[in-house]
Amino acid sequence: MPDFDLTIRNGTVVTAADTARCDVGVQNGRIVAISESLAPGRRDLDATGRLVMPGGIDSHCHIEQRSSMGIMCADDYYSGTVSAAFGGNTTVLSFAAQHRGDSLLEVVEDYSARAESKAVIDYGFHMIVSDATDEVVNVQLPQIIRRGMTSFKVYMTYDMLKLDDYQILDVLNVADRERALVMVHAENHDVIRWIAKRLIERGHGAPKFHAVAHDPLAESEATHRAIQLSRILDVPILIVHVSGLEAVNAIRAAQAHGAPVLAETCPQYLFLTAADIDKPGLEGAKWCCSPPPRDLASQEAVWNGLANGTFQVFSSDHAPYRFDESGKLPLGDKTTFKNMANGMPGLEVRLPLLFSEGVGKGRIGLNQFVALAATNAARIYGMYPRKGTLAVGSDADVAIWNPEAEVTIRAENMHDNSGYSPYEGTVVKGWPETIVSRGRVVVANGGLCVERGTGTYLARGTPEPVAFQGPGTAAMRAFKALIN
């Protein structure tokens, strides 16, 4: 019989599969009992009328990261993880960004140092590989993978980040061998660059032209291309932040034939459109991200994709920049969208928005919400079953939601440093009130309850889609034998 450090009592416990009235008992930071009626612990949280769910995992966010243009995010690992926690999350996976010339190991050490002393919840890193030299890909990358960074991201666009298809094949081949997962930012660099250059030459530099340059066809083309590269080697990939209807279709078509293609989308593609960028002056810069929000038909396609399983991951792509010279409006030139930092905040509102509009409006079920909030990301990124669920043996990472709370989103109430919210004034129903990380109460009664630096680094294991890759067809095995 456990001697509980903490119990969560009388709530409705929700996982990706189940919904049950019961108590949860915690010992040494782990769940040890899920039962009808537990003996009191050293501390007891009453969850009567509340939903007791796994703490969210925001598996795609940019924190304390310097962009390739040299602009530093508004959030460090303190403000970032605090904001995440207030938004119902207990884990973040953020990026450790290699700039060209960097050694991956130095990058990791650098980011580890940034996070270690500040994070209030647990965190892991996806490496961004931007300099795919033979040494980086074949020597450093395997080392990094073995240190628990079992996923990494490649870009098909941005001058300073972009890999070409040859390099992506190199990376995919290493991922296949080392059992890691490749995330892809899929936009056609040349298309964006070509349109943008012409727009700017002709004086069309306002923020709204950012969405013109990032044509939906640039996204769907690159998405299709990334999928074909993955099919050549039968290696899983995950297309991040999918925004447009044709990109959704390309992904779903590949999945239909058994191609190992996963996909992620974000709140901005469910709740915003390109029309939001079309604001007077530079105001629209606040809604500039890449890919940009699209149109209503794409919104519908993305919702359908969430509901029917085309998307496994729902993340914030939190990329916080202040609407001033430090971020959205850099010093040199305020007249063109090319110089404005890309991205918007989202760590804190990702889950409330999805809960309110997804579960509340009947578009997805409550268990599906948990899968998208936490469980799928835990599995896909190799943290399962430690993270992402409420099961015996799992970390006691819990978000206790009040499903009836009505909250108006206001930047002034957010805990990140971007200073604005793209969803200002939106009313949502349902809010995470109490957050527990490894048995520690992190957020309660609207306040933070932990010190900076109490979050820990997560060395991750083999991503599930990679672990589940069967032997493949005989033809594929023969092909791999030829080239390896």
Q: Which helix (H) or strand (E) holds 440?
A: strand 440-444
Shortest Å, Cβ 215 to its own copies: 6
For helices 216-233 and 245-256, the axis angle rounded to 10 degrees is: 20
Shortest Å, Cβ 227 to its own copies: 9
Shortest Å, Cβ 242 to its own copies: 14
* Residue of 371, 264, 374, 378 whose CA lies nearest to 313: 264
DSSP-assigned beta bridge partners for residue 109: none
Residue 345 contacts residue 422 (beta carbons within 8 Å): yes
Shortest Å, Cβ 405 to its own copies: 22
Rounded-to-integer distance, Cα 389 and Cα 396, Å:
9
Residue 482 to residues 134, 233, 371, 477, Cα–Cα distance (Å): 20, 12, 39, 9
Rounded-to-integer distance, Cα 354 and Cα 401, Å:
13
Residue with smaller CB distance to its own copies, 456 or 469: 469
Rounded-to-integer distance, Cα 110 and Cα 144, Å:
13
Residue with smaller CB distance to its own copies, 113 or 392: 392
Residue with smaller CB distance to its own copies, 19 or 68: 19
Shortest Å, Cβ 207 to its own copies: 15
**E strands in 198-299:** 237-239, 261-265
Residue with smaller CB distance to its own copies, 358 or 419: 358
Assign 405 to helix, strand or coil: strand
Residue with smaller CB distance to its own copies, 112 or 249: 249
Residue with smaller CB distance to its own copies, 323 or 479: 479
Residue 199 to residues 11, 195, 295, Cα–Cα distance (Å): 55, 6, 21
Shortest Å, Cβ 480 to its own copies: 10
Shortest Å, Cβ 257 to its own copies: 7
* Residue of 329, 240, 288 whose CA lies nearest to 61: 240
Cis peptide before 216 (omega within 30 of 0): no
What number of other Cβ atoms are within 10 A of residue 331's Cβ? 8
Shortest Å, Cβ 422 to its own copies: 25
* Residue of 81, 76, 79 whose CA lies nearest to 65: 76
Shortest Å, Cβ 254 to its own copies: 10
Residue with smaller CB distance to its own copies, 241 or 252: 252
Residue with smaller CB distance to its own copies, 189 or 294: 189
Residue with smaller CB distance to its own copies, 71 or 262: 262
Residue with smaller CB distance to its own copies, 371 or 443: 371
Residue 409 contacts residue 421 (beta carbons within 8 Å): yes
* Residue of 128, 126, 190 whose CA lies nearest to 155: 128
Rounded-to-integer distance, Cα 380 and Cα 355, Å:
21
Shortest Å, Cβ 220 to its own copies: 7
